[in-house]
Amino acid sequence: MRDAALAQPRTDRLTGVEFPLPLPRQVLVIQVETLDYTIIDREFGGKTVTPFLNALKKRSFFYKVDSFHYHGSADADFAFLASREPSRHLLNYKIRTFPYDNTLPRAFEEHGYRTHSFHGVSGTFFNRVFAYRKMGFSDILFIDDLVARYGVEARPIGGWTATDDERLLDILGREILAEKDARGFFFAITLLGHAPFTHVREREIVPEPKGYAQRYMNVAHEIDRRLGRLYDSLPPGTMFVVYGDHSSGIESDDYTSRRANERDYVPCFLSIVGESIAEKQKTAGTPSALGGELTLVDISNYLRSLLPDSPAAASGH
C-alpha cells in the first residue's frame, strides 16, 4: 500500500503557464468544508447565496479544481499539503511509514516562514496530527490545543467535540495581524459546512428549508459571511487562498463521504487582500483554469513555484 501511494502523481499544470505572483510575507490557506463549485454566483429565491465569494472571484485568480474525495475530506488536505495525489486504496494519513519529505509546509519553513495549522476538532480524526508533525508544521493546533491556548469552548458540533468556526477564524485573523511583520504560512480547516447541514441556526436564504439542498443554501451563505469577516480583518497584502474540500451533492440531493470514481469539483480563489489581481491571471476563463483538469496538487505546486529560489520564480515564468 505504501509503495502504491508513493506512485501517485505529482501534477504541475499551472507552473510556467500562470502568472508568477510575488509571494508576500503572510500566506493564509483555508480548506472550507463542503464549498461546492456550483454554489458560486448562485441565487436562490432571488437572494445571492455567496456575495463575498462572488466579489472575491472578480479580484482573484479563480479555478475549477478536483479536490479528490476517495475516503473523506482528509484526501483534500493531503493533496494540497503533500503536493501529491492521494491513494485511491487507503487514506494516506493511516500509512504510518509514509515519507513526508517534500511537503508544502516544509518548503515554506525552508524559506523562513513559520508554518501554522488550525483545525477545531481532535487531531486524532483522520490521524491528521501524526501526519502534520511529519509534514514539518512548526505550530499545530487542534481542539485541545485551542482550548489550552485560547480558552475556546469545546462543544458538540456535527458529531464532534469541536470549536465553532467563527471563533477559530477570529483567532486566525488576530494571529496573522500579530505576526504581520514576520513570514508566516497559515493553514486552516473549517467545519461549519459539514453535511447534513442541520447545525446552522442562520436561515437568511431559506427561512424554512425543506430538504438537503435548501439547508445547504443557508450553510453556504453563513460560510460566505464568515470568510468575508475574516478577509476584512487581515493585513493588506496577505495572500488569501480558499478552496473546498469536496462538493455538496446538492444536485442529486445526496451526499457521500467517498467518491472514488468521480471528479469532485470545488472552487479555488487565490487573492491578495486589498488588491485586485484578476487582470494578471493568464489562464482566466480558459480551459486551463476552468476545464476541470486542475487538482489541488496543481494549486499546491504553483504556490511552491512562487518561493524565491524555485526554477519558475527565478526565471520569471
pLDDT tens readout for residues 97-117: 999 989 999 999 999 999 999
Question: Which of 6-10, 13-17, 153-157, 286-290 shows the lowest per-residue confidence on average (mean pLDDT)?
Answer: 6-10
Burial zone of 176 (CB within 10 Å; 0-12 exposed, 13-18 middle, 19+ buried): buried
Percent of the chain with pLDDT over 90: 71
Q: Is the pLDDT of residue 297 over 50?
A: yes
Distance, CA of 315 to CA of 317 (rounded, Å): 5
Q: Give residue 18's pLDDT.
A: 98
Contacts of 174 (CB under 8 A, 6+ apart): 233
Q: Is the pLDDT of residue 55 over 50?
A: yes
Q: Give residue 263's pLDDT.
A: 81
Displacement of CA 123 from its chain's centroid (Å)? 17
Helix (H, G, I), strand (E, B) or coil at 102: coil
Distance, CA of 64 to CA of 46 (rounded, Å): 25
- Kindly tell me the sign of the dihedral angle through the C-alpha atoms of 99, 266, 62, 60: negative
Architecture of domain 2-258+283-312: 3-Layer(aba) Sandwich (3.40)
Q: How confident is the model at residue 8 (pLDDT cuts 50, 70, 90)?
A: low
Among 52, 75, 62, 305, smallest CA distance to 189 is for 75
DSSP 185: E
DSSP collapsed to 3 states, 219-263: HHHHHHHHHHHHHHHCCCCCEEEEEECCCCCCCCCCCCCCCCCCC
Instruction: Provide the residue type at 249 as one letter.
Output: G
pLDDT tens readout for residues 241-273: 999 999 888 776 554 544 555 688 999 999 999
Among 57, 59, 58, 39, smallest CA distance to 49 is for 39
Q: Give residue 163's pLDDT.
A: 85
* Residue recorded with cell 477545531: 120
Summarize the confidence of residues 202-221 as an average pLDDT.
Answer: 89
Half-sphere exposure of 83 (CA within 13 A, CB side): 22
Q: Is the pLDDT of residue 5 over 80?
A: no
